[in-house]
A = this chain, B = another copy of it.
Amino acid sequence: MKINERFLELKDSYLFAKVGQKTAEYRAAHPEKKVIKLSIGDVTRPLAPAVVRAMQKAVGEMSQKETFKGYGPDRYCYGYASLLESIKGSYRRKNVALSSDEIFISDGAKSDLGNILDLFAQDNLVLVPDPVYPVYVDTNIMGGRRIVYADATEENGFLPMPDERIKADLIYICSPNNPTGAAYTCEQLKVWVDYALKRNAVILYDAAYEYFIEEDGLARSIYEVEGARECAIEFCSFSKTAGFTGVRCGYTVVPKELVRSGASLNRLWARRQSTKFNGVSYISQMGAAAVFTEEGEREIRENIGYYKRNAERIAKMLRDLNLFYTGGKNSPYLWLKCPKGMDSWGFFDYLLENANVVGTPGSGFGKNGDGFFRLTAFGDADETEEACARIKKLFI
């Protein structure tokens, strides 16, 4: 019996689990300290009232024989029509037309980003931005694929563009980016789409943070770009948009035009999901559908506004300290250069011990993250204010 030895090539532990572990250890050793987390990308605002009502209604339906729901509908890989219609409507507002069978309801972008790799052979060259969400790299190490990196640095505004010398087969784009917060314009994405089309490559486009975009010209969906239907899969999530980190719902778009080696990736994904997945909770899907109602959207916008104000507080603190940073405008993440030439984990420990504030070491996101640090705007407003005050005190 042979295990998948690629697992042994993985770094010790998943970045956020390590951050969580060190935080838990510190808390256990210092129970009197009030530790404030600006680290993991977890939300803190409760679910919107419209979402709560929809979920309570759904639970009620599950209590009665006549309205009880078992497995989701086969036709759309367990996705309910009301949710699919709502998603289609939100795409129409971005001038993108999708059909129901191009939308696959997921239990979150992370699962689908990992599981989509089932569709691709091991022998593919993977292009990943550096720095970026560690999951793209780790999942491909598990799959035994070769990985090359697209450097995101101050020089290119943390928005790498294609390097024609690299013959990438799978291209990860996360926009707005985790951890830098940098977001591509449609024009820039067109260059990536053309690059992918030329190589028959596939773009895996992570749109988890698109709801945070406030500037015109930035892409809300890869499909706003001509040609993307023939080369891109889009991964979306309600986690950050609607606070669903504990509810688990998202959706993955696989256009029917996406064909490789004569095979429809849309049909392959449907086959993969109908074989290795049994759908998303009815209650979660109904909660997600409520996100698209008038009151749902209004309440979601309020929550996002709350986080954006946190982001601005953190940004102001960084400006006051004269620390280089990016992000925070179209993203809940701020990406800053560690002060005093500290390295990422050094600054992590320093901040935790001296300010009792937890952030995420940039080096966990890639080599270009060395000397950088990520702070998130998802926390409580007062705690974020307090954290900013504590950090400022350390350096002024």
Contacts and interface: CB of A to CB of B under 8 A. Distances in A.
Interface residues of A, number: 87
A90 interface: no
Contact of A69 (B246, B271, B279): B246
A64 B59 CA distance: 18
A3 B268 contact: yes
A68 B44 contact: yes
B62 A247 contact: yes
Contact of A260 (B1, B65, B70, B118): B1
**Assembly stoichiometry (copies):** 2
Interface string A101-131: 0000001101101110011110110000000
A81 interface: no
A21 interface: yes
B62 A59 contact: no
Contacts of A47: 62-63, 68
Contact of A271 (B14, B45, B74, B120): B14
A70 B69 CA distance: 25
Given A3-B265, A4-B118, A124-B2, A274 B65 contact: no
A281 interface: yes
Nearest to A43: B70
Interface string A275-317: 1111111111000000000000000000000000000000000
A243 B63 CA distance: 11
A42 B279 CA distance: 13
A119 B276 contact: no
Interface in A185-206: 199-202
A56 interface: yes
A270 to B, nearest CB: 9
A211 B269 CA distance: 33
A138 B275 contact: yes
Given A45-B68, A52-B63, A246-B69, A21 B284 contact: no
A118 B72 CA distance: 26
Contacts of A59: 52, 55-56, 59, 283
A170 B1 contact: yes
A71 B135 CA distance: 16
Contacts of A20: 74-75
Contact of A1 (B56, B169, B275): B169
A154 interface: no
Contact of A275 (B52, B123, B139): B139
Contacts of A108: 278
Nearest to A107: B107
A114 B65 contact: no
Contacts of A268: 3-4, 7
Contact of A64 (B46, B135, B170): B46
B248 A280 contact: yes
Residue of A59, A114, A201 most packed against chain B (CB within 10 A): A59
Interface in A54-108: 55-56, 59-60, 62-65, 68-72, 74-75, 107-108
A40 interface: yes
Contact of A42 (B43, B70, B380): B70
Contacts of A261: 1-3, 5
A260 to B, nearest CB: 5
Interface of A: 1-5, 7-8, 10, 13-14, 16-17, 20-21, 24, 40, 42-47, 49, 52, 55-56, 59-60, 62-65, 68-72, 74-75, 107-108, 110-111, 113-115, 118-121, 123-124, 135, 138-139, 142, 169-170, 199-202, 239, 243, 245-248, 260-261, 263, 265, 268, 271-272, 274-284, 380
